[in-house]
Structure 1
C-alpha cells in the first residue's frame, strides 16, 4: 500500500501518524529522498539530485534523474525483500513508483512539448513492472495545490516560483489521471479544507479497512 500526492499535501505526516497508531501491524517505508535510508547508494544518488537545491530534484538532466529515481525505488524493494516485513500485516509506503511516474512525466514533458503526460506516466510506471510489484492499494491525496505549495515552501524555507507552482499543479493532474485509469487500485481523498488530523483520520480509515479485510481473508 502506498500514500501518494504532491508536496505539501500532508501524506508524510499522515503516514507516520498512522504507522504509530497501527503499531506492529504496519511497516512504514519512509520516502527515500527525505531520509536516505537506502544505504550508501541512496545517499549518493540523493546527494547528486540535490546538488542544485531544486525543490523537484531537477539537475538539468531529466532522463538521468528519472532513471536514478526509479533505481531508488527498486533498491527500496530489494532492501525490503532482504530484511523482511518483521511480521507486519501491511507495508505502508510514503511515495512509491507512482510518485516517480507522475513527477517525472511532468518534468520530462517540459523538454518535449506536445507529449501526452498520462501516456508518459504510464510508460514510466509500466517499465517498473518486471522489477517490482506495484502497490495493491494506493491512497491518493489531492487538494488545493496553492495551499500545498505554501506548505512546501515553508518546509524548504524558500518560496516557489510561478513555474514551480505550475509544475505542482500539473503533477496533481497527472496523479488524478492515473487514478482514473486504475480505479480498482486507487482510493482518492480530496483533502481540500482539511487539517492534518482530518487527513490522518481519513487515510487511517482506509488502512484499517484494508487490514480488516486481510484479517478476514478478503482480498
Structure 2
C-alpha cells in the first residue's frame, strides 16, 4: 500500500470549553451573593467555584489557605508576598486542571474571585513593599505570568460600589476593625480593578451596585451571562 493510500487518523472533535465567568470586586461589594445567586439560577449546567478563602477542610486549597492565614492577616500576608502570589496562582491553575478530569464538563463556570483578584490584591501588597514599583505594572505582570498556564476568564464581571460602604460591610462581616494598611490594600485594589476594566473592555463588564438590592444586581449579572451563553451557542452553530 502506498503512503498516499494510508487513511488519515480519525480526529475526534475537541470538547467545547465551558464559558468561564469571573465575578470580581473589592471586599464587601456583594460579589459572593451575586455569584451564588447566578449559579443557583443556571442550575446543573453551571459549576460554581467558591472564593479560595472560603474553602476549608482537609483539601489542598484548604491547607494552603490555612498556611497563609496562620498570621491571622486579613489579606493572607505572611511576610513573603512573592511566595504568597505564586501559591495563590498555583491554586487557580489547579482549578482548570481539575475541571479537565470531570466526567461531565459544565456549560458555564462561575468563579467567585479569579486570577484578576490575585493580580490586583497581590500587586497592592507587593508594590507596598517595593519602593517605586508601579502597582498596575505588577498586576499586569501577574496576569501575564498566569496566562502561560491557564486562559484568562472569557468574561469578568466587576461589581462596584462606594468604597467606604464596602469596607464597612467587610469589617462587619469579619467582625474586626481594619488596620490602616488593610484599608490601603482595598483602596489600591479598587484603583487597579478600574484600570484593568478600562484596559480590557472586551473582557470586563462593570456593574454599579450602589444603592441597589442584591437581588437586582444578581438579576443583571444573570442576564449578562445568559446573553453570553446564547452568543456562544450561536457561534458554535455557525
TM-score interval, normalised by the smaller of the two chains: over 0.9
Deviation per residue, 1:14-49 (Å, 9 max, x gap)? 100111112122221111221248x63212211111
Aligned mate of 1:10, from 19, 30, 33 = 30
Q: Does 1:141 align with 2:184?
A: no
**Does the Cα contact within 8 Å between 2:119 and 2:142 map onto a contact in 1?**
yes
CA distance in 2, matches of 1:94, 1:125: 17
CA distance in 1, matches of 2:206, 2:50: 20
**Does the Cα contact within 8 Å between 1:146 and 1:165 map onto a contact in 2?**
no
CA distance in 2, matches of 1:159, 1:199: 27
Q: In structure 1, what is the equivalent of residue 99 of structure 2?
A: 80
Aligned mate of 1:70, from 76, 89, 103 = 89
CA distance in 1, matches of 2:97, 2:129: 32
CA distance in 2, matches of 1:115, 1:87: 41
Q: Specify the structure having the higher radius of gyration (Cα).
A: 2
Aligned mate of 2:44, from 24, 28, 31 = 24
CA distance in 1, matches of 2:102, 2:192: 33
Alignment TM-score, normalising by the size of structure 2: 0.86
**Runs of at least 5 residues in structure 1 that lack an aligned partner in the other structure:** none
CA distance in 1, matches of 2:63, 2:140: 27
Please provide the CA RMSD for this pair.
Answer: 1.7
**Does the Cα contact within 8 Å between 1:106 and 1:170 map onto a contact in 2?**
yes
Alignment TM-score, normalising by the size of structure 1: 0.93
CA distance in 1, matches of 2:177, 2:221: 28
- TM-superposed deviation, 1:154: 1.5
Moved over 3 A (4+): none
- TM-superposed deviation, 1:207: 1.0
**Runs of at least 5 residues in structure 2 that lack an aligned partner in the other structure:** 1-20
Aligned mate of 2:213, from 195, 204, 212 = 195
- TM-superposed deviation, 1:162: 2.8
1:87–1:71: structure 2 CA closer, same or farther, 3 Å change rule? closer
CA distance in 2, matches of 1:187, 1:19: 18
State how many pairs are aligned. 217
Q: In structure 1, what is the equivalent of residue 181 of structure 2?
A: 163
1:75–1:92: structure 2 CA closer, same or farther, 3 Å change rule? same
